[in-house]
Amino acid sequence: MIDFYYWPTPNGWKISIMLEETGLPYTLKPVNIGAGDQFQPDFLAISPNARMPAIVDHDTPDGPTSVFESGAILIHLAEKSGQLMPTTPHGRKECLEWLFWQVGNLGPMAGQLSHFVNYAKSVEDADHSYAHRRYAGEYNRCLGVLERRLADRPYILGSDYSIADIISFPWVLIAKPLGQSLEEFPNVTRWRAVIKERAAVQRGVDIGKDLRRSGPHTEAARKLLFGQTAKSLSA
């Protein structure tokens, strides 16, 4: 059994989709980021970065094993299940390249853009136009990288759907709310549509959707979530 520490965001969807795709049994453990649950000592012992997603796998040779960071979790679940990750040296190499590309490029750029689209605009007496343009441009650039990759293949690694697709899909799924049209990216549009139709993907995105109502919607919750420093981890 896997304990899945979760909040319904694109980062969380990566793992909920993976769990639904593999059929591995899990228990959902919501962590309310608006209430500061991520700073509780028990959770910090699992995820030192105070972020979701994170898991504890109770079925390993070494006993209960915690894993944090989405890329590491996806690798762990792929290897555990024997699914959705190539086993050849070259295939594994390419898979890791695209996993690291997402966690170092597409994910952070989309995440920062989301912040300036959804939250920073409410801050009084602040001009965030440069930051907004910067991250919108980087998000657009990343979509261009993905567009070229998908020019001659149905999925990121070729003919087979994999964790390379799962890790990138959530941040492309929400392109429109981020203000980015996909009209200039026909290959990405086709790829997004095919993945969106998968039953496991639909279940994964829907998991915990009622929790979104209790997210960082109040001023106190936003201050807690967006005012973090090193002291936050020892509060």
Average pLDDT over residues 212-235: 59
CATH number assigned to the domain with residue range 89-197, chosen from the 4 options 1.20.1440.230, 1.10.645.10, 1.20.1050.10, 3.40.50.2000:
1.20.1050.10
**pLDDT at residue 176, rounded to an integer:** 95
Domain ranges of the chain: 2-83, 89-197
> How confident is the prediction for the chain on average, in pLDDT?
90
Domain 89-197 in the same topology as domain 2-83: no
Question: Which residues lie across from 54 on neighbouring strands?
Answer: 5, 68
What is the pTM for the complete model shown? Answer: 0.89
CATH 3.90.226.10 assigned to domain 2-83? The reply is no
* 65-68 and 2-6 strand pairing: unpaired
Report pLDDT digits (tens) over 74-130. Answer: 999 999 999 999 999 999 999 999 999 999 999 999 988 887 887 776 555 567 788
Residue 54: CB atoms within 10 Å: 27
Report pLDDT digits (tens) over 136-180. Answer: 999 999 999 999 999 999 999 999 999 999 999 999 999 999 999
**pLDDT at residue 180, rounded to an integer:** 95
Q: How confident is the model at residue 231 (pLDDT cuts 50, 70, 90)?
A: low
Q: How confident is the model at residue 36 (pLDDT cuts 50, 70, 90)?
A: confident
Residue 155 Cα to chain centre, angstroms: 18
Non-local (6+) Cβ contacts of 171 within 8 A are 10, 102, 106, 107, 110, 111
* pLDDT tops 70 at residue 70: yes
Report pLDDT digits (tens) over 204-223. Answer: 999 987 776 555 555 555 55
